[in-house]
């Protein structure tokens, strides 16, 4: 009743050459390393806003085919694929020789992949690794494929062929549809497609030219899978002549070159009984037509193919997809680098825009002075103590009088006034900072994706509250600052023997510092801020740079100022005031860093540096090396 | 094998349709959708409305025109075959030679129907006439398929670099034709009723368009109508009836002039009953109502994410207003309490004005006159000027504007903080420029806001101080105190004078003792002045009593004066506008619901989009 498969040129055995297994083994190291690199770079890619590579063809081939199959004993995976209600399950059942996947009149009912394994293979194979993304389950009955409940899992039911007729290294898989309204089914079918070597493409006259069907098989053809085309539900033999036209459209659209083409006549009764017939059309694959030929046994034909050759072809095809300079992994690296460059631009915009000059009020002189006096205390034997005391007493007398008539303020009141003005200046700066960040986000869409949400969803009231809290908690003079002052003075006095005399001149002149601090993000070449402001665990990404104006307050200071400048005392006093002001602005930088921006700055830095990561260079080198094998 | 499911009930006349109500709804939607063009979500609503409005307008203008029925479905499902069967002859090429078969749409009209109004420009449609009764009162359009045109794939995608299908624009064509259709006749087979590409086109065009469903290939395929209806339900489409026909057989019988088979006859009957004559008007009306409902659902979904942010913004404005008013209240209370000399002067002026006559009054006048000999310090600032009865200060330009409100407790940084916080909250509700201003007000805005604030604050202070003084005027006017003071003061003067008189007349003249000199009188004068000052202090203390509490009470009334509003005006206006926009949208949706529930019972066997798919 059934003729043996007419051999097609593709079905003949390959000339004896090197064993493919040894080639796979030579690939294994590189593929393993590529996978590792992709996995670590995928995290970076996701961070910098690149769409995940998981949908890309090359990713499917690398992780779905090459990695699981390169190190294992080669098995040949053949999958039955096609649109909804084209009879995939029916064909699978016929190939397997039993109802492994229930065939029902309703469309898109097969929701799970079903695999038929040759007898004895189940124990020796890791199906979860061979079909990445699927959860293998032992098969119980034909309804398994229908997915029973609304299972979201990607299940793969497996069964060992009870008859023992299935060739020992062949796995047959029934897949869900590729064009229905449930997109999960498409993805499952694509996952099986990536893993397989041979695809039994099930077409009908209604669907052979549907875009969704075409795209599915075009990807398979691009990866050099071997295609066996089966036209189902054909009005046989009336439509036999039509099939050549359908197939040439299909081939032109997909780039496929099928190994063989079969037609299955439309016969409701036979389909019900699971006894459909396959008629080969050898004239469509380079053979000679035989109108009188009877039906053939597709299962037998399938077991007659040259496994090693088809496997190698599919493996090489998958490798080529990965190595393709445009659509392969290299293209992905290109996009990743381009993306990273955009982040570098974003970083530049931020450094340029997010920079605010904080006009702090003039520091209360006595704060800095009293630190200097304290330092001087042990050294004062050499000074005219009496004179100093007179000055101090006279000064305090005048101050008392001033307070009595209501025009003078106590030191505490002055500090309160100062703190209020300072807080206003810091708040003003914060408002401007937020405004500038908003503007930067509008200018650079990348920044918008990262900071926009922070700026819009962030609780701004709490930012200001945080700034107020930090400012209130900031001591007028911190221990850090004290240490800093002492260190500076010690150093200066060592370098300038006449220092004390000079210092006194400077002090009596009453230098006044008007601090002006610039707070910015990613400030390149920012002035190294005195120890007092740096090194508080603050990230180095929020910078404080200062320009300080020190000038003499007393009118009779002409000569003194000259002395100051000549002796290099001016820079010292500048630094002393600068350190203090920089510390004052710490409240703002800390609020900006800890509360407003969080770890976003580090993230921007990381993203901007993504392209420079060693993994990218290594991946490029590997791709180049692997490519050499195929270009030879 | 071919039959029609007996779900079709006899269609009801459109008793419930409220034409006037619907017109009102459309007018309301028109006005509403354009009412907030500065708000981006409002603008999107408007853009959507512009498309919907054109369709609604056409539906109303063309109420009595025949319906245009678009036949859509996947390639190979037999659309053209069905059209040929309905037209009674081969008007559209059909067959299995190559997919897709129909490239140019075919428009089938009855011989006497003028279809010049049907605008199908640029789609290359071919118009054919037919005498078949099925298409006597409709226009039938055989549409291209949606599933053979490729998606816009990248040049680097898999497959050959050029494909024959690159020139296939069937889906684009379809999407140009469907807007002209009033009703969609959806054709599917067992292989294609769950097709994703068809479903996505239907989802795009079903709003406001009733649907007819036909399963073709009845002689070859199993009956999948129940499952199809489930699938349609999942897509949000209610399908009361699905017809099942064999197109080839129907076309053959039609061409041969034979009686149609049952399924096809059912379809023709449905067309006749549901799409012709009075039914056509009903289809248009309910389609229009459905379209309006779909638009409202879409806008609702569009606007829903902004409801909470608008509420948050309103709350944020209130919180920030309270914060600024708190700062102001503190400063105002402090300043008023600290202006002791100014209060003293006000009360003295009151006393001097009201107390005349008696010796104590004369004493007070004298003290006041002496005090006025010192030139009054020119009172500066708002408080000084208000308390000394001078006019309100002029607001300085530029930075001076900010300095002038510092005395009422507000600094530029506080206002900026408020505006910065509100800009953030507003951004969450997609509110931004031009509805609201920047964080930092520009110079003219500062000038006018500060000016308004100072003017309001000044007027409020003047009023408040007047009330405080008025409350004390009664105490000034109290005749008891005044009489007591006068009695005590004049008593002492009388006693001194009496004693002096006794000494002079009795002691000196009568008894011949020597005159004691002026010493006694000088001492007495000192004591009289001291007593006068004591009494003055007592009187002032009585008048001043409770001033601090009254000032505190005055400050608690500060929020009612809306003094800081000028700085928040743009935000409060914007949030109110958006809230009103949302509210009006809700009202319109409720009105639509009421209209829809009235016509619910008049529904036919036509399918319709009920809501989003599950």
Q: Which residues of A touch B194 (CB under 8 A)?
A: 84-85, 107-108, 177, 180-181
Confirm or reject contact between A428 and chain B (CB < 8 A): yes
- Of A212-221, B236-245, B352-361, B570-579, give the lowest mean pLDDT range: B352-361
Q: Would the CB atoms of B424 and A108 count as touching at under 8 Å? A: no
Closest CA to A238 of B220, B458, B44: B220
**Which range is most confident: A217-231, B242-256, B501-515?**
A217-231
Q: Would the CB atoms of A106 and B195 count as touching at under 8 Å? A: no
% helix, strand, coil for chain A, step of 5 = 55, 15, 30
Q: What percent of chain A has pLDDT over 90?
A: 39
Q: What is the mean pLDDT of residues A407-428?
A: 80
Distances (CA, A) of B6 to A480, B240, B242, B267, B443: 90, 10, 9, 12, 76
Q: pLDDT tens across A16-60, in order? A: 455 777 888 889 999 999 999 999 999 989 888 888 899 899 999
Residue pair B104/B126 in contact (Cβ under 8 Å)? The answer is yes
Number of other residues whose CB lies within 10 A of the CB of residue B603: 17
Class of residue A626 by CB neighbours under 10 A (exposed 0-12, middle 13-18, buried 19+) = middle
SS3 B97: coil
Q: Would the CB atoms of A212 and B196 count as touching at under 8 Å? A: yes
Sign of CA dihedral A178, A299, A9, A3: negative
Using the predicted structure, report yes or no on whether residue B612 has a pLDDT greater than 70. no
Q: pTM, whole model, 2 decimals?
A: 0.82
* Gap between the Cα atoms of B215 and B189, Å rounded: 6
- The single residue listed with the structure tokens 């008696």 is B358
Q: pLDDT tens across B158-198, in order? A: 667 788 888 889 999 999 999 889 999 999 999 999 999 99
Question: Which one has a higher pLDDT value, B555 or A49?
Answer: B555
Q: Would the CB atoms of B425 and A460 count as touching at under 8 Å? A: yes
* Gap between the Cα atoms of B330 and B551, Å rounded: 11
Q: Would the CB atoms of A85 and B194 count as touching at under 8 Å? A: yes
* Gap between the Cα atoms of A421 and B411, Å rounded: 9
CB-based contacts of B4, cutoff 8 Å, min separation 6:
B241, B243, B244, B262, B263, B265, B266, B267, B270
* H/E run at residue A323: helix A307-323
The answer to whether the bond into B434 is cis (omega within 30° of 0) is yes
Q: Which of B 297-316 lie inside 8 A of A, CB atoms?
A: 316
Q: Which of A425, A456, A458, A462 to mutate to test the interface with B (most CBs of B within 10 A)?
A: A456
Q: Which residues of B touch A431 (CB under 8 A)?
A: 413, 416-417, 419-420, 439-440
* Gap between the Cα atoms of B34 and B49, Å rounded: 9
Q: Which of A 225-264 lie inside 8 A of B, CB atoms?
A: 233, 239, 242, 245-246, 249, 252-255
Using the predicted structure, report yes or no on whether residue A386 has a pLDDT greater than 70. no
Q: What is the mean pLDDT of residues A55-81?
A: 91
Number of other residues whose CB lies within 10 A of the CB of residue B198: 24
Beta-strand pair A76-82/A198-203: parallel
Q: pLDDT tens across B85-104, in order? A: 999 889 998 888 888 888 88
Q: Pick the residue from chain B with its C-alpha nearest to A325.
A: B156
Q: Which of A 49-68 lie inside 8 A of B, CB atoms?
A: 57
Number of other residues whose CB lies within 10 A of the CB of residue A175: 32
Q: pLDDT tens across B381-396, in order? A: 778 778 777 777 777 7
- Of A4-18, A124-138, A233-247, A332-346, give the lowest mean pLDDT range: A4-18
Using the predicted structure, report yes or no on whether residue A556 has a pLDDT greater than 60. no
CA distance B198 to chain A (A): 9
* DSSP states of B35-90: S-TTSHHHHHHHHHHHHHHHHHHHHHHTTTSPEEEEEEE-TTS-HHHHHHHHHTS-
Choose the closest CB to B191 out of A207, A221, A434.
A207
Q: Would the CB atoms of A211 and B421 count as touching at under 8 Å? A: no
- Mean residue pLDDT across chain B: 87
Q: Would the CB atoms of B195 and A179 count as touching at under 8 Å? A: yes
Beta-strand pair B138-142/B106-110: antiparallel
Residue pair A519/A546 in contact (Cβ under 8 Å)? The answer is no
CA distance A201 to chain B (A): 16
pLDDT for res A621? 94
Closest CA to B414 of B406, B425, B423, B424: B406
Q: Which of A190, A209, A421 to mutate to test the interface with B (most CBs of B within 10 A)?
A: A209
Closest CA to B302 of B581, B28, B609, B572: B581
Confidence band, pLDDT 50/70/90 cuts, at residue A413? confident
> Angle A196-A199-A205 (CA atoms, 0-180°, nearest 5)?
150
Confirm or reject contact between A454 and chain B (CB < 8 A): no
Q: Would the CB atoms of A181 and B234 count as touching at under 8 Å? A: yes
Using the predicted structure, report yes or no on whether residue A179 has a pLDDT greater than 80. yes
Class of residue B19 by CB neighbours under 10 A (exposed 0-12, middle 13-18, buried 19+) = exposed
Residue pair A107/B199 in contact (Cβ under 8 Å)? The answer is no
Confirm or reject contact between B377 and chain A (CB < 8 A): no
Distances (CA, A) of B431 to A456, B279, B300, B306: 11, 46, 18, 10
Confirm or reject contact between A125 and chain B (CB < 8 A): no
Q: Which of A 286-315 lie inside 8 A of B, CB atoms?
A: none
Closest CA to B260 of B556, B2, B588, B510: B2
- The single residue listed with the structure tokens 């089966």 is A230
Q: Which of B 425-484 lie inside 8 A of A, CB atoms?
A: 425, 427-428, 438-440
Q: What is the mean pLDDT of residues B520-549?
A: 89
- Mean residue pLDDT across chain A: 81
> Angle A405-A406-A407 (CA atoms, 0-180°, nearest 5)?
100
Q: Which residues of B touch A464 (CB under 8 A)?
A: 417, 420-421
Q: Pick the residue from chain A with its C-alpha nearest to B171.
A: A211
Residue A334 has phi, psi (to 5 degrees) of: -55, -45
Confidence band, pLDDT 50/70/90 cuts, at residue B493? very high
Confirm or reject contact between B340 and chain A (CB < 8 A): no
% helix, strand, coil for chain B, step of 5 = 60, 5, 30
Using the predicted structure, report yes or no on whether residue A3 has a pLDDT greater than 70. no
Residue A526 has phi, psi (to 5 degrees) of: -70, 150
pLDDT for res A333? 94
Using the predicted structure, report yes or no on whether residue A224 has a pLDDT greater than 90. yes
Residue pair B599/B13 in contact (Cβ under 8 Å)? The answer is no
Residue pair A68/A132 in contact (Cβ under 8 Å)? The answer is yes
Choose the closest CB to A460 out of B74, B77, B421.
B421
- What residues are paired with B129 via a beta bridge? B109
Choose the closest CB to B412 out of A85, A239, A428.
A428
Q: Which residues of A touch B157 (CB under 8 A)?
A: 215, 218, 327
Q: Pick the residue from chain B with its C-alpha nearest to A462.
A: B421
Q: Would the CB atoms of A210 and B234 count as touching at under 8 Å? A: no
Q: pLDDT tens across B404-415, in order? A: 888 888 888 999
Residue pair B193/B596 in contact (Cβ under 8 Å)? The answer is no
Number of other residues whose CB lies within 10 A of the CB of residue A199: 29
Q: Which of B 473-532 lie inside 8 A of A, CB atoms?
A: none
* Gap between the Cα atoms of B309 and B429, Å rounded: 5
Tokens read off for A25: 């083994």
Confirm or reject contact between A320 and chain B (CB < 8 A): no
SS3 A588: helix
Strands (E), A111-166: 113-117, 135-138, 155-160
Residue pair A573/A503 in contact (Cβ under 8 Å)? The answer is no
Question: Which one has a higher pLDDT value, A144 or B233?
Answer: B233
Q: What is the mean pLDDT of residues B564-588?
A: 95
pLDDT for res B598? 84
Question: Which one has a higher pLDDT value, A526 or B393?
Answer: B393
CA atoms within 13 A on the CB side of A560: 18
Q: Which residues of B touch A432 (CB under 8 A)?
A: 416, 439-440
Confirm or reject contact between A101 and chain B (CB < 8 A): no
Residue pair A330/A623 in contact (Cβ under 8 Å)? The answer is yes
Confidence band, pLDDT 50/70/90 cuts, at residue A534? very low
Q: What is the mean pLDDT of residues B38-59?
A: 93
Choose the closest CB to B194 out of A181, A215, A218.
A181
Q: Pick the residue from chain B with its C-alpha nearest to A426.
A: B413
pLDDT for res A555? 33
CA distance B486 to chain A (A): 37
Q: Which of B 91-110 lie inside 8 A of A, CB atoms?
A: 96-100
Q: Which of B147, B414, B429 to mutate to test the interface with A (most CBs of A within 10 A)?
A: B147
* Gap between the Cα atoms of A146 and A114, Å rounded: 10
pLDDT for res B317? 97
Using the predicted structure, report yes or no on whether residue A363 has a pLDDT greater than 70. no
**In the β-sheet with A355-359, what is the strand arrangement from edge to edge?**
A355-359, A511-521, A542-552
Distances (CA, A) of A169 to A73, A303, A316, B85, B336: 9, 9, 19, 53, 98
Q: Which of A 358-417 lie inside 8 A of B, CB atoms?
A: none
Q: What percent of chain B has pLDDT over 90?
A: 48
Number of other residues whose CB lies within 10 A of the CB of residue A225: 27
Confidence band, pLDDT 50/70/90 cuts, at residue B255? confident
Cα dihedral B386, B388, B392, B397, rounded to 10, equals -100
Tokens read off for A9: 């040129």
Q: Which of A 198-217 lie inside 8 A of B, CB atoms?
A: 204-212, 214-215
- Of A376-385, A554-563, B205-214, B589-598, give the lowest mean pLDDT range: A554-563
Tokens read off for B276: 């012709």
- What residues are paired with A543 via a beta bridge? A520
pLDDT for res A531? 39
> Angle A103-A106-A108 (CA atoms, 0-180°, nearest 5)?
85
Q: Which of A 459-488 lie inside 8 A of B, CB atoms?
A: 460-461, 464
Tokens read off for A35: 């996978």
Q: Pick the residue from chain A with its C-alpha nearest to B168.
A: A211
Residue pair B475/B550 in contact (Cβ under 8 Å)? The answer is no
CB-based contacts of B575, cutoff 8 Å, min separation 6:
B310, B313, B314, B317, B426, B429, B431
* Gap between the Cα atoms of A157 and A137, Å rounded: 5
Question: Which one has a higher pLDDT value, A517 or B15?
Answer: A517
CA distance B404 to chain A (A): 15
* Gap between the Cα atoms of B214 and B189, Å rounded: 9
Using the predicted structure, report yes or no on whether residue A10 has a pLDDT greater than 50. no
* Gap between the Cα atoms of A141 and B32, Å rounded: 59
């Amino acid at each position: 009743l059934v003729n043996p498969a007419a051999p097609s040129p593709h079905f003949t055995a390959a000339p004896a050459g090197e064993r493919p297994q040894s080639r796979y083994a030579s690939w294994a190291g590189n593929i393993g390393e590529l996978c590792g690199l992709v996995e670590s770079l995928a995290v970076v890619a996701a961070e910098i806003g690149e769409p995940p590579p998981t949908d890309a063809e090359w990713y499917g081939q690398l992780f779905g085919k090459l990695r699981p199959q390169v190190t294992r004993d080669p098995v040949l995976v053949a999958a039955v694929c096609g649109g909804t209600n084209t009879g995939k399950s029916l064909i699978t059942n016929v190939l397997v020789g039993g109802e492994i996947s229930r065939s029902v009149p309703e469309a898109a009912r097969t929701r799970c992949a079903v695999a038929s394994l040759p007898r004895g293979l189940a124990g020796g194979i890791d199906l979860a690794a061979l079909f990445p993304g699927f959860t293998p389950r032992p098969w119980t009955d034909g309804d398994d494929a229908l997915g029973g409940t609304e299972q979201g899992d990607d299940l793969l039911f497996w069964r060992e062929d009870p008859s023992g007729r299935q060739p020992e290294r062949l796995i047959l898989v029934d897949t869900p549809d590729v064009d229905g309204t449930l997109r999960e089914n498409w993805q499952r079918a694509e996952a099986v497609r990536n893993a397989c070597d041979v695809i039994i493409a099930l077409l009908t006259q209604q669907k052979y030219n549907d875009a969704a069907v075409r795209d599915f098989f075009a990807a398979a053809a691009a990866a050099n899978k071997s295609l066996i085309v089966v036209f189902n539900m054909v009005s046989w033999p009336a439509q036999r002549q039509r099939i050549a036209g359908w197939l040439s459209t299909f081939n032109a659209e997909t780039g496929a070159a099928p190994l063989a083409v079969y037609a299955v006549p439309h016969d409701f009764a036979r389909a019900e009984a699971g006894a459909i017939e396959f008629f080969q059309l050898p004239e469509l694959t380079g053979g000679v037509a035989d109108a009188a030929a009877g039906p053939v046994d597709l299962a037998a034909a399938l077991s007659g193919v040259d496994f090693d050759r088809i496997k190698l072809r599919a493996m090489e095809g998958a490798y080529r997809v990965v190595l393709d300079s445009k659509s392969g992994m290299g293209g992905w690296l290109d996009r990743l680098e381009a993306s990273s460059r955009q982040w570098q631009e974003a970083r530049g915009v931020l450094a340029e825009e997010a920079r605010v000059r904080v006009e702090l009020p003039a520091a209360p002189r006595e704060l800095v002075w009293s630190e200097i006096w304290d330092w001087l205390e042990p050294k004062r034997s050499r000074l005219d103590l009496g004179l100093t005391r007179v000055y101090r007493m006279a000064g305090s007398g005048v101050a008392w009088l001033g307070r009595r008539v209501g025009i003078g303020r106590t030191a505490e009141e002055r500090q309160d006034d100062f703190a209020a003005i300072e807080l206003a200046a810091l708040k003003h700066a914060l408002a401007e900072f937020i405004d500038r960040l908003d503007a930067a986000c509008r200018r650079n869409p990348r920044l918008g994706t990262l900071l926009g949400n922070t700026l819009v969803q962030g609780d701004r009231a709490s930012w200001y509250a945080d700034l107020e809290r930090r400012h209130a908690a900031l001591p007028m003079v911190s221990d850090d600052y004290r240490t800093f002052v002492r260190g500076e003075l010690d150093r200066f006095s060592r370098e300038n023997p006449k220092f004390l005399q000079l210092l006194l001149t400077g002090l009596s002149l009453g230098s006044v510092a008007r601090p002006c601090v610039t707070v910015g993000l990613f400030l390149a070449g920012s002035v190294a801020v005195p120890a007092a402001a740096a090194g508080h665990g603050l990230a180095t990404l929020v910078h404080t740079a200062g320009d300080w104006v020190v000038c003499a307050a007393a009118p009779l200071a002409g000569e003194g100022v000259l002395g100051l400048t000549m002796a290099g005392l001016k820079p010292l006093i500048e630094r002393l005031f600068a350190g203090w002001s920089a510390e004052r602005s710490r409240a703002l930088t800390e609020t900006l860093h800890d509360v407003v921006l969080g770890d976003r700055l580090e993230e921007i830095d990381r993203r901007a540096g993504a392209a420079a990561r060693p993994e990218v260079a290594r991946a490029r080198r590997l791709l180049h090396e692997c490519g050499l094998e195929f270009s030879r | 094998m071919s039959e029609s499911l007996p779900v079709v009930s006899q269609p009801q006349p459109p008793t419930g349709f409220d034409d006037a109500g619907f017109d009102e709804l459309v007018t309301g939607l028109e006005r509403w959708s354009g009412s907030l063009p500065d708000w981006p979500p409002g603008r999107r609503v408007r853009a959507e409305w512009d498309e919907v409005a054109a369709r609604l307008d056409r539906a109303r203008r063309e109420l009595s025109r025949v319906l245009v029925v678009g036949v859509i479905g996947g390639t190979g499902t037999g659309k053209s075959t069905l059209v040929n069967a309905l037209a009674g002859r081969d008007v559209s090429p059909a067959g299995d030679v190559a997919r897709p078969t129909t490239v140019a749409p075919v428009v089938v009209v009855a011989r006497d129907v003028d279809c010049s109004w049907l605008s199908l420009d640029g789609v290359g449609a071919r118009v054919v006439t037919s005498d078949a009764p099925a298409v006597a009162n409709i226009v039938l359009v055989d549409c291209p398929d949606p599933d053979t045109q490729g998606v816009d794939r990248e040049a680097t995608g898999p497959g050959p670099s050029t494909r024959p299908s690159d020139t296939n624009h069937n889906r684009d064509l379809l999407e140009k034709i469907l807007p002209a259709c009033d009703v969609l006749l959806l054709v599917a087979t067992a292989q294609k009723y769950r097709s994703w590409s068809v479903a996505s086109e239907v989802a795009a065009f079903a709003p406001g368009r009733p649907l007819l469903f036909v399963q073709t290939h009845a002689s070859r395929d199993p009956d999948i109508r129940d499952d199809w209806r489930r699938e349609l339900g999942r897509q949000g489409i209610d399908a009361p009836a699905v017809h099942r026909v064999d197109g080839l057989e129907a076309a053959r019988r039609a061409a041969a002039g034979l009686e149609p088979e049952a399924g096809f006859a059912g379809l023709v009957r449905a067309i006749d009953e549901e799409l012709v004559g009075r039914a056509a008007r009903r289809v248009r009306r309910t389609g229009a109502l459905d379209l309006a409902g779909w638009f409202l659902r879409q806008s609702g979904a569009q606007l829903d994410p902004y409801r909470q942010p608008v509420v948050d913004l309103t709350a944020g404005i209130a919180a920030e207003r309270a914060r600024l008013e708190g700062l102001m209240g503190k400063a105002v209370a402090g300043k008023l309490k600290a202006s002791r000399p100014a209060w003293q002067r006000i009360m003295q002026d009151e006393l001097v004005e009201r107390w005349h006559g008696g010796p104590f009054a004369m004493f007070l006048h004298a003290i006041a006159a002496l005090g006025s000999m010192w030139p009054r310090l020119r009172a500066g600032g708002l408080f000084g000027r208000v308390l000394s009865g001078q006019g309100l200060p002029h607001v300085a330009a530029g930075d001076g504007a900010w300095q002038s409100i510092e005395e009422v407790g507000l600094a530029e940084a506080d206002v900026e903080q408020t505006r910065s916080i509100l800009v953030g909250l507003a951004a969450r509700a997609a509110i931004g420029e031009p509805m609201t201003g920047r964080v930092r007000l520009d110079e003219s805005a500062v000038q006018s806001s500060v000016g308004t604030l100072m003017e309001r604050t000044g007027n409020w202070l003047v009023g408040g101080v007047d009330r405080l003084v008025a409350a004390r005027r009664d105490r000034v006017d109290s005749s008891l105190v005044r009489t007591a003071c006068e009695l005590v003061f004049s008593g002492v003067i009388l006693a001194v004078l009496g004693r002096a008189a006794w000494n002079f007349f009795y002691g000196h003249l009568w008894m011949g003792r020597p005159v004691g000199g002026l010493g006694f009188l000088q001492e007495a004068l000192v004591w009289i002045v001291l007593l006068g000052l004591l009494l003055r202090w007592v009187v002032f203390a009585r008048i001043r009593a409770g001033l601090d509490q009254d000032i505190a009470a005055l400050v608690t009334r500060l929020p009612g004066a809306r003094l800081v509003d000028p700085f928040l005006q743009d935000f409060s206006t914007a949030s109110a506008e958006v809230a009103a926009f949302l509210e009006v949208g809700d009202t319109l949706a409720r009105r639509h619901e009421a209209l829809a529930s009235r016509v619910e019972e008049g529904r036919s066997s036509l399918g319709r989009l009920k809501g989003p798919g599950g």
